[in-house]
């Protein structure tokens, strides 16, 4: 049986065979994420956490694009300033979600499109997937505890290329570093994520939850603390001149000029 939840057209959710599936669906803007979309995503995760019929969670985009990250107009016009902003609510929700999360990622995964993956358990990527963390290029700093988790995952030198230079990395590097589980043709990623989530959903829930808790226990405290610290800096930097220059440049389809900043 499929149940469709009340969300918004840009965030589709359904529950089938014990799996809640969340689809990012804003193709005309490359699946960039607005405050309303984060709120819907946070609500879906919260509902999945409390609904005992949900035993695994899938996040997916389109086979051409996972997400272009935060909506830049939203960054400019309604920057998240408080810890209870929808984006931070979503990040806290996914990072502390106790049941397994499977992601299918195809095409670009920019900013939070990549950092949210650090909180997923299994990730299946299309061979067109590309990951980038362009926070510095936008006058910002990392979020989602990525300043801790990215160096831990890939080592400091490669983290510096990704986070200081903001250089994208391709799917093969992501596989080699252990960010993702498998590379598949883009048309197969969502189906594989679904298949793996259903496998998880058929296993004993208490064992899954306890195993995930134990695997994450070493990082849990520092992840929560780092997310708070990053959010405070990120919120402040969003309204500073470097970020404003980056956002107006993106929206005006020109290169940013940081020479005076």
- Nearer to ligand COA by C-beta: 73 or 173? 73
CB of 122 to ligand COA, least distance (A): 24
**Which residue's CB is nearer to ligand COA, number 47 or number 136?**
136
Nearer to ligand COA, 23 or 194 (CB): 23
Q: Would you call 36 exposed, middle or buried from its count of C-beta atoms within 10 A (0-12, 13-18, 19+)?
A: middle
* Shortest spacing between CB 121 and ligand COA, in angstroms: 23
How many angstroms separate the CA atoms of 107 and 131, rounded? 8
Q: For residues 100 and 126, which CB has a smaller minimum distance to ligand COA in the complex? A: 126
Supply the minimum distance, in Å, between the C-beta of residue 32 and ligand COA: 3
How near is the Cβ of 13 to ligand COA at its closest, in Å? 22
- Shortest distance in whole angstroms from residue 18 CB to ligand COA: 33
Q: What are the residues whose beta carbons fall under 8 Å from the beta carbon of 33, sequence distance 6 or more?
A: 24, 26, 41, 67, 69, 70, 71, 87, 112
**Least distance (Å) between residue 255 CB and ligand COA:** 13
Neighbours of 83 (CB within 10 A): 13
Q: Which is nearer to ligand COA, 26 or 226 (CB)?
A: 26
CB 246 within 8 A of CB 76: no
Q: Are strands 122-126 and 130-132 parallel, antiparallel or unpaired?
A: unpaired
For the chain, give percent helix, strand, coil, nearest 5.
50, 15, 35
Tokens of 119: 């909180």
* Residues facing 16 on adjacent strands: 2, 19
Interface residue list for ligand COA (CB under 6 A):
29-30, 32, 68-73, 108, 110-111, 134, 138
Beta-strand relationship, 130-132 and 169-170: antiparallel
Minimum CB distance to ligand COA smaller for 54 or for 140: 140
């Amino acid at each position: 049986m499929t149940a469709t939840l009340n969300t918004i057209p840009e965030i589709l959710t359904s529950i089938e065979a014990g799996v809640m599936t969340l689809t990012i669906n804003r193709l005309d803007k490359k699946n960039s994420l607005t405050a309303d979309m984060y709120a819907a995503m946070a609500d879906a995760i919260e509902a999945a956490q409390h609904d005992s019929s949900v035993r695994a969670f899938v996040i997916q985009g389109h086979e051409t694009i996972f997400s272009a990250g935060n909506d830049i107009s939203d960054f400019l016009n309604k920057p998240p300033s408080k810890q209870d902003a929808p984006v931070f609510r979503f990040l806290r929700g996914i990072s502390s979600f106790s049941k397994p999360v499977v992601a299918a990622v195809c095409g670009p995964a920019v900013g939070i499109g990549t950092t949210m993956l650090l909180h997923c358990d299994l990730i299946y990527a299309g061979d067109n997937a590309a990951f980038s963390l362009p926070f510095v290029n936008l006058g910002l700093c990392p979020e989602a505890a990525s300043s801790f988790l990215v160096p831990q995952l890939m080592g400091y030198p490669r983290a510096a290329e990704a986070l200081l230079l903001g250089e994208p990395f391709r799917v093969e590097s992501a596989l080699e570093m252990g960010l993702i589980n498998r590379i598949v043709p883009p048309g197969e990623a969502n189906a594989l994520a679904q298949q793996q989530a259903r496998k998880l959903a058929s296993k004993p829930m208490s064992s899954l939850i306890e195993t995930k808790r134990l695997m994450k226990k070493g990082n849990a405290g520092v992840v929560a603390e780092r997310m708070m610290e990053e959010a405070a800096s990120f919120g402040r930097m969003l309204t500073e001149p470097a970020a404003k220059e980056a956002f107006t440049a993106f929206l005006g389809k020109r290169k940013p000029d940081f020479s005076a900043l």
